[in-house]
């Protein structure tokens, strides 16, 4: 019975290996079938890609319990979720302004245009009346109007209406507001993403040409990654809609973080082939050998992304799921499709071989080893203050930080309108109708709101309808926007930005007034209340996500090295690089987009931890036959080219986003990514070898403990004999044979 039990693990292991062997055999010898399957999937993805929607409204990603989300639900049910814009017409008389307003009101897709003549002539045909409201809409020969559309900010009917309004207003117009911003975002993102990908491919090709040994290899890498990216982008149709964050960054980040998988496989295959093994057998060995490194690399990156799914602000889940799916697409393409392409193009790869452009990096290893104490001391000096400094940044959370930056037409138009009329931060209060149709309480609330020092104007049905005039007297278009059977809506314009501490205080004071007048079933919605909700949720999200990503990556590293000490040393340089990267904006006096702060922190950890793993693997391999000094130098020399290739690619991709995007949020994510890759690269080449050499006795002791623990488990749980027992058995059997 014992003999049977002892055979079971070996049989299970044999069965597992036979399954792997059959799978690898199929990959290598049935390339046409696999190629056909990928061609069909790629074509399907190309067809699906145009049908993937892009969402620009961050409020849509708030959880159901957030006040803004609840207010949105009520508003959508009662009034719809209209888009809004603010336009200014220069050099016009009041009569021209009124005529323009009337033309705009007739544009298909426009629900309502708020202006002074609308409010004063809502029940009479008099000329403009001089009052507080008139001054808010007409000043120094300039007229401003608040436009409310029938559909949402990023609805194409709203975009068509904006285009028609452009034609009505002409060159005298300046356009601002959420609907205009989102129209500009959509137009610029499509163009900028395509441009960034093309330029990044060209630069990555140049980097790969310098760091590979064949002129054809870089083209093969780009071909494989291009297929993987198309598969990822097309299969986003399963989500229906993705955020503009994801749309802007997914393809270029997937290219940067997963091109290493192709390099691993091809270099492993080349090593086997050059040893004299036939190409198909060499590919079998390469797939089995490289798969371990590729899966370990993919796992660390995927962990960095997948933890974003735990965010309650679900734009994190949007980014995390798409990028994790991208990693899976890259893994599948490299391990299934690339082997057959390598075999097919084997002759071309050989014919285009060239001598390496870079020689040995022993000089770098020696220099870094001599500077190891400097690296340790500087890192220690930097790490502690940067750990606290990263939290001292001026963080932004909402649409003001997401939109177009200086130099764009939208930004310049917004500044022009604000210079003449001041800022207009529109907030909507939704309050229940009084019993019997009385508007007394509503009028009193509007009066109180209008008297607040930071309010430009407050408008509601009750505030503009004279006593004794029935609601039916008003145009249905106006009634529909201001009043339903159950609720009334109050339009409030605050003279502050959407996001600042002062704006938050004003919004809270305004909300308190509304809640005081209507304690139940009242809601306040707008960009500032939305930003407050996003801020409160994101700050809680960051603590959870950062801890989970750290634990997840540490577990992957622990499984790879099976030594509890190594994950600490492997992660430490990357964490120091993250702290330093996120502290630099504080030192520069720049603001930081909080959602970008979270995403880049996870990206930098998940994508650049591979550099540390490679360096540590090379050190431990060298340590089997060399001393700690020689092992550190050897590890740097052997790892430098691979680490620099991967780091430079990620750095290039990040800075390309920074230089090519007109949106402040994408620019900053690009800058943080590029700088983070550069810092991780530098610290892995300098700090990590110093840590490995300094803590070498602890590593050796921990590895010995781990090996003894594994030996005990093999002996007691799997009934496998230890090396010592096998040696004793061999001696015993040899003695028996002599007898």
What is the structure's pLDDT at 5?
39
Residue of 663, 712, 689, 698 lying closest to 56 (CA atoms): 663
What is the structure's pLDDT at 228?
95
Exposed / middle / buried, residue 127 (Cβ in 10 Å: 0-12, 13-18, 19+):
exposed
What is the structure's pLDDT at 164?
93
**37 by DSSP, 3-state: which?**
helix
Average pLDDT, the chain: 84
Per-residue confidence band for 421, with pLDDT thresholds at 50, 70 and 90: confident
Residue of 688, 676, 660 lying closest to 601 (CA atoms): 676
What is the structure's pLDDT at 332?
94
Least confident of 3-12, 84-93, 544-553: 3-12
Q: Which residue has the higher pLDDT, 705 or 545?
A: 545
Per-residue confidence band for 300, with pLDDT thresholds at 50, 70 and 90: confident
Q: What is the mean pLDDT of residues 294-319?
A: 89
What is the structure's pLDDT at 102?
87
Return the DSSP state at 138.
E
Per-residue confidence band for 1, with pLDDT thresholds at 50, 70 and 90: very low
CA atoms in the 13 A half-sphere facing the CB of 653 = 28
723 has a pLDDT exceeding 50: yes
- Strand pairing of 84-89 and 142-149? antiparallel
pLDDT digit string (tens) for 23-71? 888 998 988 999 999 999 999 999 999 999 888 878 888 888 888 888 8
Q: What is the mean pLDDT of residues 377-391?
A: 89
686 has a pLDDT exceeding 90: yes
pLDDT digit string (tens) for 85-142? 999 999 888 888 888 888 998 899 888 888 766 544 433 333 433 455 677 788 888 8
Q: What is the mean pLDDT of residues 478-482?
A: 70
pLDDT digit string (tens) for 399-420? 766 666 677 788 888 889 989 8
Q: Which CATH class is domain 80-183?
A: alpha beta
CA atoms in the 13 A half-sphere facing the CB of 130 = 1
Give the percent of the chain with pLDDT over 70: 86
What is the structure's pLDDT at 233?
94
Q: What is the mean pLDDT of residues 455-475?
A: 66
All structural domains of the chain with their residue ranges: 80-183, 698-731
pLDDT digit string (tens) for 504-528? 999 999 999 999 999 888 999 888 9
Q: What is the mean pLDDT of residues 701-707?
A: 72
- Strand pairing of 394-396 and 591-593? parallel
468 has a pLDDT exceeding 60: no
- Strand pairing of 523-526 and 53-55? unpaired
Q: What is the mean pLDDT of residues 197-203?
A: 88
252 has a pLDDT exceeding 90: no
């Amino acid at each position: 019975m014992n003999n049977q039990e002892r055979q079971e693990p070996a049989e299970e292991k044999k069965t597992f290996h036979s399954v792997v062997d059959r799978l690898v055999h199929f990959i290598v010898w049935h390339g046409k079938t696999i190629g056909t399957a990928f061609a069909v999937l790629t074509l399907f993805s190309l067809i699906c890609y145009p049908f993937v929607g892009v969402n620009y409204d961050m409020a849509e990603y708030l959880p159901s319990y957030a006040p803004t989300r609840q207010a949105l639900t009520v508003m959508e049910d009662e009034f719809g979720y209209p888009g809004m814009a603010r336009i200014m017409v220069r050099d016009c008389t009041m009569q021209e302004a009124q005529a323009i307003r009337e033309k705009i009101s007739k544009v298909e897709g426009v629900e309502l245009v708020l202006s002074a003549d609308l409010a004063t002539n809502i029940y009479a045909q008099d000329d403009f009346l001089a009052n507080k409201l008139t001054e808010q809409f007409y000043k120094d020969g300039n007229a401003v109007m608040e436009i409310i559309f029938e559909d949402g900010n990023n609805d194409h009917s709203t975009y068509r209406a904006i285009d028609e309004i452009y034609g009505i207003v002409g060159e005298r117009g300046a356009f601002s507001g959420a609907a205009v911003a989102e129209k500009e975002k959509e137009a610029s993102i499509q163009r900028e993403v395509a441009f960034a990908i093309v330029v990044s491919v060209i630069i990555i090709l140049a980097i790969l040409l310098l760091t590979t040994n064949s002129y054809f290899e870089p083209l093969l890498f780009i071909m494989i990654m291009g297929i993987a990216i198309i598969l990822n982008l097309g299969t986003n149709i399963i989500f229906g809609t993705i955020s503009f964050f994801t749309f802007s960054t997914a393809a270029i980040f997937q290219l940067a973080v997963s091109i290493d998988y192709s390099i691993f496989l091809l270099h492993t295959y080349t090593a086997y082939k050059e040893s004299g093994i036939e190409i198909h057998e060499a590919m079998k060995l390469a797939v089995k050998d490289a798969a371990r490194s590729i899966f370990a690399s993919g796992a660390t990156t995927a962990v960095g992304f997948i933890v974003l799914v735990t965010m309650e602000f679900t734009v994190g889940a949007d980014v995390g799921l798409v990028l994790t799916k991208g990693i899976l697409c890259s893994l599948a393409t490299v391990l299934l499709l690339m082997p057959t392409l390598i075999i097919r193009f084997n002759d071309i790869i050989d014919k285009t071989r060239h001598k390496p452009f870079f020689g040995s990096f022993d000089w770098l290893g020696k220099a870094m080893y001599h500077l190891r104490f400097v690296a340790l001391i500087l890192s220690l000096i930097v790490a502690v203050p940067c750990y606290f400094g990263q939290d001292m940044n001026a963080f932004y959370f909402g649409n003001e930080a997401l939109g177009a930056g200086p130099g764009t037409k939208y930004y310049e138009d917004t500044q022009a309108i604000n210079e003449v009329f001041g800022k207009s931060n529109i907030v909507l209060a939704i309050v229940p109708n009084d019993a019997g149709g009385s508007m007394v309480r509503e009028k009193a609330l509007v009066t109180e709101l209008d008297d607040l020092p930071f309010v430009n104007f407050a408008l509601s049905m009750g505030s503009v309808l004279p006593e004794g005039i029935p609601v039916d007297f008003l145009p249905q278009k106006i009634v529909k926007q201001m009043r339903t059977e159950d609720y009334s809506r109050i339009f409030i314009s605050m003279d502050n930005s959407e996001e600042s501490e002062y704006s938050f205080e004003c919004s809270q004071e305004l909300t308190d007034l509304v809640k005081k007048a209507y304690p139940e079933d009242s809601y306040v919605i707008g960009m500032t209340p939305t930003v407050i909700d996003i801020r409160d949720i994101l700050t809680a999200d960051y603590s959870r996500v950062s801890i989970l990503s750290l634990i997840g990556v540490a577990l992957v590293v622990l499984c790879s090295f099976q030594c509890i000490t190594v994950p600490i040393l492997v992660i430490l340089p990357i964490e120091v690089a993250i702290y330093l990267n996120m502290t630099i904006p504080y030192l520069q006096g720049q603001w930081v987009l909080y959602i970008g702060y979270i995403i880049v922190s996870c990206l930098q950890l998940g994508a650049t931890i591979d550099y540390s793993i490679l360096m540590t693997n090379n050190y431990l391999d060298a340590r089997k036959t060399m001393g700690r000094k020689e092992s550190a130098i050897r590890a740097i020399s052997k790892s430098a080219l691979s680490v620099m290739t991967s780091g430079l690619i990620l750095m290039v991709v990040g800075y390309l986003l920074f230089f090519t995007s007109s949106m402040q949020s994408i620019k900053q994510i690009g800058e943080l990514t590029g700088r983070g890759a550069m810092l991780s690269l530098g610290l892995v080449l300098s700090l990590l070898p110093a840590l490995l050499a300094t803590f070498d006795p602890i590593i050796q002791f921990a590895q010995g403990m781990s090996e003894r623990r594994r030996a005990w488990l093999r002996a007691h749980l799997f009934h496998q004999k230890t090396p010592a027992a096998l040696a004793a058995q061999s001696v015993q059997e040899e003695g028996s044979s002599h007898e």
